[in-house]
Structure 1
Amino acid sequence: MKKKLLGLMLLSGLFAFSVAASDGVSLRQKAQQAVEAGNYEEAYQTYQELSSQCDSIYQQIYGEEIEDLRATYRIDELELQNKEYANRLLSYFIGIVLFLSAAFLVCFFFFRRQNKQLTISRKKLEEAKILAEESVKNKSLFLSNMSHEVRTPLNALAGFSSILSMDGIDDDTIRECDDIIRLNSDLLLKLINDVVDISCIDLEHMQFHLASCDAVALCKYVVQTMEKIKHTQADILFRSDLDSLMIDTDSSRLQQVLINLIVNASKFTKQGQITLSLEQKGDEAHFAVTDTGCGIAPELHSRLFGRFEKLDEKAQGTGLGLSICRLIIKRLGGDICIDPSYTDGARFVFTHPLGERSEA
């Protein structure tokens, strides 16, 4: 019994800290008094009652703690679920943002590319439109120039040919008519040659026949020929410090350029001088045709080498001469321009490589 009592006392001591009610304290005191009085049976029953009360209190406290733990667990579980849901939402949001960003970038670059292609297409269309307008303009200018230029020599040929068929004309009249017919025939042939040249010289497969040529001798020959057939009172001269200058060129094409430049100068130089000059600078030959005529206004320089451009509508020609000269010089590997610093008339300068450097 004492052992049981000691066990109950130990158990009551362990749970005494949790017994806060006043009746629990009273039972413990009553049990101690019974022990002191030697009434162990009463003390046993009192301690047993106190133990039952402690068990009840412990079970109540333990149940409350269990409920608190369960509530805490449920709260933690809900918080964990909320965190998982929030993480899932964040993942979905990030995925949607990345998808929309990728879609935006794809659309941006797609539309940018489409806009670039559209810009290029518009540019090409605009260029094609300009070329078409330029072609129509050139065609109109060509027809206008040719109808005027061809009509003049044809009328002269028809008129003076009819005079030759008349009876009773003297020899002087026949010679005069013959000279006029020959002159207009040459003019008409030149017009046709200009048209043929401008139509075929652009073809990439057209080959120039290059050979070694003495540029000094060629220039002298051109000047002598033009001096004999000139239609101006201006003197046609050749000046050069060189005795000889060998170049690789198409001599007939180079001669054509020189003749075109001199003929063009003679139209606007009724008196004075037309000078063909030649000099060597490095590995290039520099040709120049200088006149003392009326000159060309600076604002018209940019139009000089355009096709069908006639700065003076009263002057004969198709407006193709300078354009043909530039095409030939380009094909031979040189360049041509008007000297803007010369103000006593007009000076056309072009270069020609000494060796073979043709663009043909």
Structure 2
Amino acid sequence: MKQRILLLLLLCLSGSVSQAQDQIQKQDSDSVLWAVAAQELQAGHYEKACSLYLDLSNHTIAIYQDINSRKVEDLRTKFSIDEVQLQRNIQQSRLLRLIWIAGIILLAVFAGCFFYIRKQNRWLAHSREELNRAKALAEESIRNKSLFLSNMSHEIKTPLNALSGFAEVLTMPGIDEATREQCNDIIQLNSELLLKLINDVIDISCLDVANMKFNIKPCDAVVLCRNVVKTLSAIKQTDAEMLFETDLDTLELDTDVERLQQLLINLQVNATKFTKQGSITLKLEKTEDGMARFSVTDTGCGIPLEQQSRIFERFEKLNEKAQGTGLGLSICQLIIKRLNGDIWIDSEYTQGCRFVFVHPLKQEARS
């Protein structure tokens, strides 16, 4: 009975119920043979009993071999299915890995293109700014050139006409000595004016050259200021009084004496053009931070507040009828910048005009 149950279980596990039933039927016939073999053994027919037992044993072995072969076949089939599934999983893994790699590469390419385009846009923006700056400079240069030619043609024409006209008067016969002296004074005045115009043009061109050398040496600023005011008082063409104020007995500073003198003269001469009455005062002080502070204050018409920001630009003139090229204040700014100082208009002073500039007491000689 146990053998029948075991055989049934084995055949069911192998997946063949009908075969299990056939084997059970065979097992019933084998039970009959087992019983016959037992009777033959009891009857003393040993050879026949042995033959029956051998047949039964071979038959049982054949059954178990058949079961084992079926199980092995089932295992092989299952293994084949598992292997196919494994290969499919491997292929899916490879495909997924390739998709990830392709995605990373595309992302890297996209990021590279994005940063490259961004860099190119920045470069283009920078180039556009440089181009606009160059264009603005070119337009400014053309405007300055036009202003220069216009101003110079106008400014030079006046003294040249005077020189030509009064020189012709001097050659006329019969003129008296007083007329001759008057013509000579007018010719001398216009000659100086023409020379001043030419000197302004030379100065503005020279000061723009980066390698122009400044002759730096010690100078007593108090003495220099007194001499400038004394000289201008003797040749002034205004009724305004020329004054110099300072609490210092002496103030030594390192500077280019000729350029500093030119700066002081330009500021005071510029003040005489717009100050017919009152005073023009040059003041010298020493600041707490080790600078010399110069100021030129007049009681003239002053400069409107809206025009003060443009007063140091080249060819800028408040009064188009006044003599000059409009380069004087621009030259002053170039000089003081090269001497490591600064210049500005005191916008709080309203009784006329006040120009202020500071100059360091000590500095390295520069070119």
Q: Does TM, scored on the shorter chain, surpass 0.5?
A: yes
Moved over 4 A (4+): 9-20, 39-57
Shift in Å, 1:261: 0.4
Q: Aligned to 1:290, what secondary structure does the other structure show?
A: strand
Asked if 1:334 is matched to 2:327, the reply is no
Change in Cα spacing, 1:285 to 1:297, as seen in structure 2 (3 Å) is same
Asked if 1:315 is matched to 2:322, the reply is yes
Unmatched runs of 5 consecutive residues or more in structure 1: 1-8
Query: Which runs of structure 2 are paired with 1:114-153 in the superposition (5 Å)?
Result: 114-153=120-159
1:27 matched residue in structure 2: 29
Contact 1:333 1:358 in 2 (8 A): no
Shift in Å, 1:243: 1.6
Amino acid at match of 1:96: A
Shift in Å, 1:208: 1.5
Q: CA RMSD in A?
A: 2.7
TM-score, normalised with respect to structure 2:
0.87
1:189 matched residue in structure 2: 195
2:250 matched residue in structure 1: 244
Q: Which moved more, 1:309-318 or 1:189-198?
A: 309-318
1:77 matched residue in structure 2: 83
Per-residue Cα deviation, 1:238-270 (whole angstroms, up to 9, x for no partner) = 111112112222211111111100111111112
Asked if 1:217 is matched to 2:223, the reply is yes
Query: Counterparts of 2:209 and 2:10 in 1: how far apart (Å)?
Result: 116
Shift in Å, 1:343: 1.4
Shift in Å, 1:94: 2.9
The percentage of aligned residue pairs carrying the same residue is 54
Asked if 1:226 is matched to 2:228, the reply is no
Shift in Å, 1:24: 3.3
Asked if 1:108 is matched to 2:114, the reply is yes
Contact 1:198 1:320 in 2 (8 A): yes
Counterpart of 2:163 (choices 146, 157, 174) is 157
Amino acid at match of 2:339: L
Per-residue Cα deviation, 1:327-358 (whole angstroms, up to 9, x for no partner) = 11111121111111111111110111112345
Shift in Å, 1:46: 6.5
Shift in Å, 1:35: 5.2
Asked if 1:281 is matched to 2:298, the reply is no
Q: Which moved more, 1:167-176 or 1:140-149?
A: 167-176
Query: Counterparts of 2:227 and 2:365 in 1: how far apart (Å)?
Result: 24
Query: Counterparts of 1:300 and 1:55 in 2: how far apart (Å)?
Result: 125
Shift in Å, 1:187: 0.7
Unmatched runs of 5 consecutive residues or more in structure 2: 12-19
1:6 matched residue in structure 2: none
Change in Cα spacing, 1:17 to 1:338, as seen in structure 2 (3 Å) is closer
Shift in Å, 1:45: 6.8
Query: Counterparts of 1:318 and 1:145 in 2: how far apart (Å)?
Result: 6
Shift in Å, 1:310: 1.5
Asked if 1:296 is matched to 2:303, the reply is yes
Change in Cα spacing, 1:346 to 1:358, as seen in structure 2 (3 Å) is farther
Contact 1:332 1:358 in 2 (8 A): no
Query: Counterparts of 2:286 and 2:133 in 1: how far apart (Å)?
Result: 40
TM-score, normalised with respect to structure 1:
0.88
Q: Aligned to 2:281, what secondary structure does the other structure show?
A: strand
Change in Cα spacing, 1:64 to 1:247, as seen in structure 2 (3 Å) is same
Query: Counterparts of 2:334 and 2:98 in 1: how far apart (Å)?
Result: 69
